[in-house]
Amino acid sequence: MENRFDIIIIGGGLLGCATAYQLAKRKAGRILLLDGNEIASQASARAACLLTRARTKPGLMEIVQETYDCIAEMEDLLGESLELQQCGSVTIASSEVSLKGLEALEEAATRFGIPNERISREQTRKLLPWIDAEAVDVALYMPTDAFIDSALLCSGYARAASKLGVELRPNCKVKEILVENGRQVSGVRLFNGEVLSASLVVNAAGAWANLLMRPLNVGLPFTPVRSHFWITAIDSERFPAGHPFTVIPDARAFTRSDVGALIIGLRESCCQAFDPSALTERLEDFDFNQAAKWTVLDECAPLLKRYLHDIDDLPIAHYMAGPSCYVPDAMFVIGPVKRYEGLFTVTGCCGGGVAAGGGMGRLAAEMITGERPFVSPELFAPERFGEVNPFSPEFQRRCADARSNKKGG
In the complex, least distance from residue 359 CB atom to ligand FAD, rounded to whole angstroms: 11
Nearer CB in complex with ligand FAD: 130/230: 230
In the complex, least distance from residue 406 CB atom to ligand FAD, rounded to whole angstroms: 11
Nearer CB in complex with ligand FAD: 135/207: 207
Nearer CB in complex with ligand FAD: 133/296: 296
22 binds ligand FAD per the rule CB under 6 A: no
102 binds ligand FAD per the rule CB under 6 A: no
| Part of the chain binding ligand FAD (CB under 6 A), chosen from 47-55, 178-186, 270-278, 296-304 | 47-55
In the complex, least distance from residue 96 CB atom to ligand FAD, rounded to whole angstroms: 27
- Nearest-10 crossing angle of helices 96-112, 60-78: 50
d(CA 326, CA 280): 18
43 binds ligand FAD per the rule CB under 6 A: yes
Q: Are the C-beta atoms of residues 198 and 8 closer than 8 Å to each other?
A: yes
Name the DSSP letter for residue 341: B
| Cα→Cα distances 160→105, 201, 374, Å | 33, 20, 22
Q: What share of the chain is helix, strand, coil (3-state, %, to 5)?
A: 35, 25, 40
Instruction: Give the x-and-dash track for 161-200 against ligand FAD (CB under 6 A).
Output: ------------xx--------------------------
| Cα→Cα distances 233→239, 313, 409, Å | 10, 11, 23
In the complex, least distance from residue 80 CB atom to ligand FAD, rounded to whole angstroms: 21
Which of 179, 201, 212, 271: binder of ligand FAD (CB under 6 A)? 212
d(CA 240, CA 323): 29
Which of 32, 34, 263, 304: binder of ligand FAD (CB under 6 A)? 34
In the window 348-407, what residues touch ligand FAD (CB under 6 A)? 349, 351-355
408 binds ligand FAD per the rule CB under 6 A: no
Please, is 212 exposed, middle or buried when counting C-beta atoms within 10 Å of its C-beta (0-12, 13-18, 19+)?
buried
228 binds ligand FAD per the rule CB under 6 A: yes
Q: Go through the chain and tell me how many residues it has.
A: 409
d(CA 356, CA 339): 27
d(CA 238, CA 122): 16
| Part of the chain binding ligand FAD (CB under 6 A), chosen from 8-16, 76-84, 99-107, 326-334 | 8-16
d(CA 229, CA 253): 9
Based on its alpha-carbon atoms, the radius of gyration of the chain, rounded to whole angstroms, reads 21
Instruction: Sort strands 223-232 and 261-266 into parallel, antiparallel or unpaired.
Output: antiparallel
Nearer CB in complex with ligand FAD: 99/320: 320
In the window 291-320, what residues touch ligand FAD (CB under 6 A)? 320
Which of 7, 63, 102, 204: binder of ligand FAD (CB under 6 A)? 204
Nearer CB in complex with ligand FAD: 135/198: 198
Which residues bind to ligand FAD, rule: CB under 6 A? 10-16, 34-37, 41-44, 46-50, 150, 173-174, 204-208, 212, 227-229, 320, 322-324, 349, 351-355
